[in-house]
Amino acid sequence: MTGEAPAIAVEVVQLPHAAGLPLPRYETELSAGLDLVAAVEAPVVLAPGGRALVPTGLAIALPAGTEAQVRPRSGLALKHGVTCLNTPGTIDADYRGEVKVLLINLGDADFTVERGTRIAQMVVAPVAQAVWHPVASLNETPRGAGGFGSTGTAAAKL
């Protein structure tokens, strides 16, 4: 698959405590996520079961009609059991505070977040707001109210 991903312009301010750190970047041409780095002044140790709100040193202004999602990195999850507690984190287009990452250590050893550690990834995406249309009843569908496993397993269907 080739081609260019559509671009969304995002204003960014690198806060003073992020001085010297690189702006998040796409590691490959068609990556969906920008790797966020920890803008901690000193290493933060996450004990097993511990959590921490880790600063990225970035404040952003997303265009109306977009959001950013803060998602875990699979490598950290696989190797260390470290993930985002509130995944996916939601960055609203009108948020002007610092983007932070709520990490939790679900592994069985201490995990140290060093300055510059790539701790999560941020995906920018279009988003729509719902406009409620109250009605008395909803149209019928083959699924109806079925959910939560109502279609059975793939094996059961064979």
* By the rule CB under 6 A, 71 interacts with ligand DUT: no
Q: Which of these segments, 1-9, 42-50, 95-103, 131-139, binds ligand DUT (CB under 6 A)?
A: 95-103
Which range in 1-9, 96-104, 106-114, 144-152 contacts ligand DUT by CB under 6 A?
Answer: 96-104
- Contact call for residue 86 and ligand DUT (CB under 6 A): yes
CB 52 within 8 A of CB 39: no
Nearer Cβ to ligand DUT (57/107): 57
Site size toward ligand DUT, by CB under 6 A: 11
Residue from 36, 39, 54, 99 binding ligand DUT (CB under 6 A): 99
Window 25-64: contact mask with ligand DUT (x via CB under 6 A): ----------------------------------------
Tell me, letter by letter, the H, E, C secondary structure of the chain. CCCCCCCCCCEEEECHHHCCCCCCCCCCCCCCCEEEECCCCCCEEECCCCEEEEEEEEEEECCCCEEEEEECCHHHHHHHCEEECCCCEEECCCCCCEEEEEEEECCCCCEEECCCCEEEEEEEEECCCCCCCCCCCCCCCCCCCCCCCCCCCHHHHC
CA-CA-CA-CA dihedral for 17, 94, 61, 51, to nearest 10? 40
Q: Any contact of residue 95 with ligand DUT (CB under 6 A)?
A: yes
Can you tell me which of 18, 60, 70, 76 binds ligand DUT, judged by CB under 6 A?
70
Give the interface with ligand DUT as residue ranges (CB under 6 A).
Answer: 70, 86, 89-92, 95, 99-102
